[in-house]
Amino acid sequence: MSILRRVVDPDQPFLSADAARGILRLSFGAADRKRMNQLADKNRAGMLKPTEEKELDNYIRVGQTLGILQSKARRSLQASREAKSLHS
């Protein structure tokens, strides 16, 4: 994830406002959230099977990636608003 964080660099906005808003709308659906909670519960109880551990790792990785992209999107929207206020 640290490599992706450096590539995307959330501190440097580059997304259009429409693209940023689209990224901010991305989220896990109800079924995925339920499954993540089930896997987390089993993990806390020490009962995860190897395939479930991989599944949980995948959810974590996707969640981290989404978090990085959404951070970039928020920064891009903030920069867009600031640029507009400077030109007003």
Burial letters for 34-61: b for 16+ Cβ neighbours within 10 Å, e otherwise? ebbeebeeeeeeeebeeeeeebbeebee
When comparing pLDDT for 4 and 75, which is higher? Answer: 75
Q: Closest Cα partner for 61 from 7, 9, 1, 19?
A: 1
- State pTM to two decimals: 0.80
> What's the pLDDT tens digit per position in 9-67?
767 767 889 999 999 999 999 999 999 999 999 999 999 999 999 999 999 999 999 99
| Most confident region among 1-10, 29-38, 77-86 by mean pLDDT | 29-38
Q: What is the pLDDT of residue 81?
A: 83
